[in-house]
Structure formats: structure tokens, C-alpha cells
Amino acid sequence: VSFFDKKKDLTGKEVLLTAGPTNEAIDPVRFIGNHSSGKMGIAIAYELAEQGALVNLILGPSHIPVDHPLIKVFKVSSASEMYQSCQQHHLSADICIFAAAVADYTPETVATEKIKKSEDEIILKLKKNVDIAASLGKVKAPGQIHIGFALETQNEEINALSKLKNKNFDMVVLNSMRDSGAGFQHDTNKVTFYFKNGDRQNLALLSKKEVAAHIVTAIKSLTPPN
Ligand code: CTP
Ligand code: CA
């Protein structure tokens, strides 16, 4: 089906979607980041918008341009900024999707001036960031659907299932790092869906656009029509 043939099944639905990495400042010129490109989340945003949903995309630093009348982009840098922006959009959302690679830790203090090179060793103390998905999972509105991701290198299934439960997700997308060509900085992903009701769905190695289409189909099976 072409863009124009696509059924606008999601018209009237509002989505909160996090995507991309976060940058955690060390000093005015340095930060701790990660290799997330934002590709997977942005592909989901387009898929949803093409089907008529209004998407509030809370996007960490990403080079990918986003331009669609139904996608509102809120650019953020740190995990804490991402959380604040999410808090402004989660109440009105029918669907929340947490696709961002949020930094788990952030520097305890940010140096106000550029740190000068002196000692042979320096220690950077980090403190835990807020878990955006878990925090919003605790205040989930009735009927609201939450979808999360799990990126694992070991005990994939156990870890994915514990994220499903602990973060109050309706579905978790397990990103398998075992297969080459999957995950960060790649155009393809190997994923498995785990649903709250115990169902699961294994997908083949697919392009991120194809994975996005499957995710949106799964979301529609969880969402009551308007
Ligand atoms: N997540 C989030 N806020 C955080 C950390 C994670 O919203 N501070 C979300 C991610 O967007 C993803 C899910 O939680 O949807 C799982 O992220 P992941 O990094 O796999 O799990 P963590 O709970 O952070 O545990 P760990 O990194 O130890 O595996
Ligand atoms: Ca993490």
C-alpha cells in the first residue's frame, strides 16, 4: 500500500513517544552519551502519523530530520529534560511509547567551567537518573497503553519480561543484540514482542521501517478504536 492508501485507523489518537539518546553534561563542552541514532523511534513516529495519529515526539540529540504535519517534535538533551517534557504530554496521551536510549546515570555535579587537564586520574561521580517509563507507568491513565523496549546482551527473555512487569508496560519490544546487523546504528532490527497477557511474537531480521509497521499493528490490537 502506498502512503495515500494507508487506512487512517489512528485518527484522533494522541501518542507520546520518546526517541534518541540523551546527553548528560560533564562540563560546558563535554557530555556522556550513547550510540542511539533515534532511527527506530522516528520510524515509529512516521508510521503512526501516516495512519492519522498525532505524535508528540520527545527527541534526544539526533541528526535525523523529522518533518510531518502530525509529528510535533520536542527537542531535549538530558534525561531530566526528557522527563520534564514527557510529564507535559503523558496525561493527554492514548498511547505512550518509550523508545529512547535514556542514560541510566548522570554526573552528580556539572562543572561550571571546562575541566582542565592536570591529574593522571580523575574520578567522575554519577547518580541515577529518573526512570521515565517506570515513573509514568505508576500514573498510567485508565485505558492508556504503554510500550517499552528492552536492549539486552544476556538473559534476554527474563530481563525483557521483568521490564514488562516492573514498568507496567502492555508490551515490550526486545531488541536482540546477538544478531549482527541489529540494534544501534544499524538499519535493521531483530525483535520479539512480549505482551502483558502472555502472548509473544517473534519477528525476522527486518528493516527498522518494517519493525515500526509491526509495532504499530501490535499497538492497534491493544488500543480500543475511537
Ligand atoms: N527507560 C526510561 N528511562 C530511563 C531508563 C529506561 O524511560 N531512565 C525506558 C527505555 O526507553 C526503555 C525501557 O525503559 O523503553 C528499558 O530500558 P533499558 O535501558 O533496556 O532498561 P533499564 O530499566 O534502564 O535497565 P538496564 O539498562 O539495567 O537493562
Ligand atoms: Ca538502561
Compute φ and ψ for 8, nearest 5 degrees. -85, 60
The ligand 1 atom nearest the CA atom of 169: 15
Q: Active-site residue 34, yes or no?
A: yes
Q: What is the pLDDT along the chain (226 residues), one digit of tens a residue?
A: 455 556 789 999 999 999 999 999 999 999 999 999 999 999 999 999 999 999 999 999 999 999 999 999 999 999 999 999 999 999 999 999 999 999 999 999 999 999 999 999 999 999 999 999 999 999 999 999 999 999 998 999 999 999 999 999 999 999 987 665 666 667 888 899 999 999 999 999 999 999 999 999 999 999 876 7
Tell me the ligand closest to 156's alpha carbon: 1
Spatial CA neighbour of 47 closest among 71, 82, 20: 71
To the question of whether residue 114 is assigned a binding role by annotation, the answer is yes
**pTM of the complete model beyond 0.80:** yes
Q: Provide ipTM, 2 decimals.
A: 0.99
Asked if the 14-111+119-222 domain carries CATH number 3.30.470.10, the reply is: no
- Closest Cα to atom 20 of ligand 1: 150
Cα–Cα distance for residue pair 135/80, rounded to 1 Å: 12
Q: What type of residue is 134?
A: A
Q: How many other C-beta atoms are found inside a 10 Å radius of the C-beta of residue 80?
A: 17
